[in-house]
């Protein structure tokens, strides 16, 4: 069982215990006070839960994030004077720096009911980065794009429903600009490349998008159209295969640079465990990947027999790496992102690189999911992306952030809107919850789409974790 599953299991167990205790209290109130009181309290309790306590947050908001950022990248002489961030020496900037500021944030009483955030303003630019309700601990702001205001001493940092405490610490990371290199994005499913890296790959000198699975399962939306389970899964897989080839065209990536490998969703771990054994789809009644490869413009080793095996996946990846020769590989981060297909995608790429005559210069890891906070990035669409919760200081993490202007963010939102898996309407329960959170907790959702990823992914920053090979 993964850490994510363990945390979710513990969360559900605790919730069941809390519900049982609440039920006992309500029954006693109904017997001892008035028969109608439990009903009123139950409704009020449900409303409060949906408005303020329904986030999947598997840690205390009072816990410090535990990053161990490289000491050689720390900028000394940083102080907060009132609400202005001051540097003893101005930074030498070229516009591609990733800037990270560590500060201690303490929520006000309002910050227990409304999302606390840090508002950043300077040199005509503004940003807002939100954190957990009730936050009280060390957090990391992403100042990428605000370097000019920071260097000139005009960057204002103000809390909304929270206050800033302690001595700030700043890190500056100067990386080669991945947008001026040949980039290959590894996407476990159609839409992963867009969620994590649309801004990066749309600006790169040359981009390749390689999608590993068809993402055919959980096709209830298509079953409601009258299809049986297998037909619905096949239809969904074909649509998502089409998306993986065509949507990057919106960003200027030619279809010859978009490859769908057609392996089956949530079956990569089983393939990895038995590399030579074909692993069929869970729902599509299918054991041949070629149905989902029909839109590819180039042949691959796995096309010969269409067998959904780990060995074929490695052979496909090796052929693509040798053909495209990417300088920058963008893929899921194997420890921050807990999705099993994402973990296996990273493992498959590293296995494919072993002994290969072409090696990329840099790997950028991304996280479209987290172990312990399903709402990250917190806050609203079109705002910045603070660093995610990390509680393992032994991880060597070097952030690399790309800034997107408003037009690029809108293009990213439109790309997500083209993805069939993000189009179905939200279920009634979620819509009721959002209405309650809008009215009672001040939360907002973007007009571009109902899926939560329109809020989470359409941001001023795309955040990656860099490692050299």
Q: Say if CB 443 and CB 437 are below 8 A apart.
A: yes
Q: Over pLDDT 70: what percentage of the chain?
A: 98
Omega prior to 377 cis, within 30 of 0: yes
Q: What is the CATH number of the domain that holds 139?
A: 2.60.120
419 Cβ neighbours under 8 A, 6+ residues apart: 190, 191, 194, 240, 243, 247
Residue 17 has pLDDT above 90, yes or no: no
What whole-number distance in Å separates Cα of residue 297 and Cα of residue 94?
39
Q: At which of 143, 173, 203 does a domain end?
A: 173
Q: Indicate if 150 and 202 belong to the same structural domain.
A: no
pLDDT at site 117: 98
Q: What is the arithmetic mean of pLDDT over 38-51?
A: 89
Q: Indicate if 299 and 440 belong to the same structural domain.
A: yes
- Residue 156: which domain range? 71-173
Q: What is the arithmetic mean of pLDDT over 148-164?
A: 95
Who has greater pLDDT, 319 or 11? 319
Instruction: Work out the pLDDT band at 42, boundaries 50, 70, 90.
Output: confident
Residue 465 has pLDDT above 80, yes or no: yes
Residue 437 has pLDDT above 90, yes or no: yes
pLDDT in tens, 179-189: 999 999 999 99
pLDDT at site 83: 93
User: How is residue 421 annotated by DSSP?
Assistant: G
Q: Indicate if 260 and 282 belong to the same structural domain.
A: yes
Alpha helices in 115-208 (DSSP H): 147-152, 192-203
Query: Whose CA is closest to 7, among 50, 49, 56?
Result: 56
pLDDT at site 157: 97
Around Cβ 46, how many Cβ atoms within 10 Å? 11
Q: Over pLDDT 90: what percentage of the chain?
A: 85
Q: What is the mean pLDDT of the chain?
A: 94
What whole-number distance in Å separates Cα of residue 153 and Cα of residue 84?
7
pLDDT in tens, 275-288: 999 999 999 999 99
Instruction: Work out the pLDDT band at 159, boundaries 50, 70, 90.
Output: very high
Instruction: Work out the pLDDT band at 5, boundaries 50, 70, 90.
Output: low
> For strand 84-87 and strand 78-81, is the pairing parallel, antiparallel, or unpaired?
antiparallel
User: Is 66 among the domain residues?
Assistant: no
The tally of domains found in the chain comes to 3
Residue 7 has pLDDT above 80, yes or no: no
Its sign, for the CA torsion 136, 139, 143, 148, is: positive
Q: At which of 132, 158, 173 does a domain end?
A: 173
pLDDT at site 1: 54
Around Cβ 404, how many Cβ atoms within 10 Å? 22
Residue 4 has pLDDT above 70, yes or no: no
Binning the chain into helix, strand and coil, the percentages to the nearest 5 are 40, 20, 40
What whole-number distance in Å separates Cα of residue 180 and Cα of residue 327?
10
Torsion on CA atoms 315, 194, 423, 388, rounded to nearest 10: 110
Q: What is the arithmetic mean of pLDDT over 33-62?
A: 88
Q: At which of 151, 173, 195 does a domain end?
A: 173
pLDDT in tens, 86-111: 999 888 888 789 999 999 999 999 99
Cα distances from 86 to residues 66, 72, 248, 341, in angstroms, run: 24, 20, 42, 44
Query: Whose CA is closest to 373, among 194, 118, 70, 139?
Result: 139
Q: What is the CATH number of the domain that holds 373?
A: 3.40.50.10320
């Amino acid at each position: 069982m993964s850490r994510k599953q363990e945390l979710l299991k513990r969360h559900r167990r605790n919730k069941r215990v809390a519900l049982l205790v609440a039920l006992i209290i309500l029954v006693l109130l109904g017997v001892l006070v008035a028969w109608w009181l439990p009903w009123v309290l139950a409704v009020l309790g449900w409303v409060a839960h949906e408005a303020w306590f329904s986030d999947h947050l598997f840690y205390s908001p009072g816990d410090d994030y535990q990053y161990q950022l490289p000491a050689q990248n720390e900028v000394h002489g940083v102080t907060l004077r009132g609400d202005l961030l001051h540097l003893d020496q101005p930074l030498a900037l070229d516009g591609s720096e990733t800037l990270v500021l560590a500060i201690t944030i303490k929520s006000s009483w309002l910050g227990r009911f409304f999302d606390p955030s840090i508002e950043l303003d300077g040199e005509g630019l503004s940003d807002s980065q939100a954190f957990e309700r009730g936050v009280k601990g060390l957090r990391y702001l992403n100042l990428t794009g605000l370097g000019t205001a920071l260097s000139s001493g005009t960057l204002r940092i103000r809390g909304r429903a929270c206050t800033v405490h302690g001595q700030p610490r700043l890190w500056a990371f100067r990386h080669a600009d991945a947008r001026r290199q040949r980039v290959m994005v590894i996407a476990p499913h159609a839409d992963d490349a867009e969620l994590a890296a649309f801004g990066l790959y749309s600006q790169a000198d040359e981009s390749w998008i390689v999608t590993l699975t068809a993402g055919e399962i959980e096709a209830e939306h298509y079953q409601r159209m009258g299809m049986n389970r297998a037909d619905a899964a096949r239809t969904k897989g074909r649509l998502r295969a089409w998306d993986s080839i065509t949507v990057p065209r919106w960003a200027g990536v030619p279809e010859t640079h978009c490859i769908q490998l057609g392996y089956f969703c949530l079956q990569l771990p089983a393939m990895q465990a038995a590399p030579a054994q074909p692993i069929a789809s869970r729902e599509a009644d299918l054991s041949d990947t070629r149905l989902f490869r029909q839109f590819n413009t180039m042949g691959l080793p796995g096309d010969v027999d269409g067998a959904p095996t780990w060995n074929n996946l490695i052979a496909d990846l090796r052929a693509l790496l040798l053909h495209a020769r990417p300088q920058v590989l963008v893929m899921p981060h194997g420890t921050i992102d807990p999705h099993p297909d994402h973990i296996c995608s990273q493992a498959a790429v590293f296995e494919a690189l072993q002994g290969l005559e072409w090696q990329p210069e840099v790997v950028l890891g991304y996280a479209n999911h987290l172990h312990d906070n399903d709402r990250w990035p917190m806050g609203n669409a079109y705002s910045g992306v603070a660093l995610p919760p990390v509680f393992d200081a032994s991880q060597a993490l070097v952030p690399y952030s790309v800034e997107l202007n408003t037009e690029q963010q809108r293009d990213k939102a439109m790309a997500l809107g083209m993805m069939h898996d993000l189009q179905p309407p939200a279920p009634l329960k979620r819509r009721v919850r959002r209405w309650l959170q809008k009215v009672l907790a001040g939360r907002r959702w973007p007009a571009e789409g109902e899926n939560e990823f329109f809020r989470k992914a359409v941001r001023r920053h795309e955040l990656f974790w860099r490692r050299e090979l």
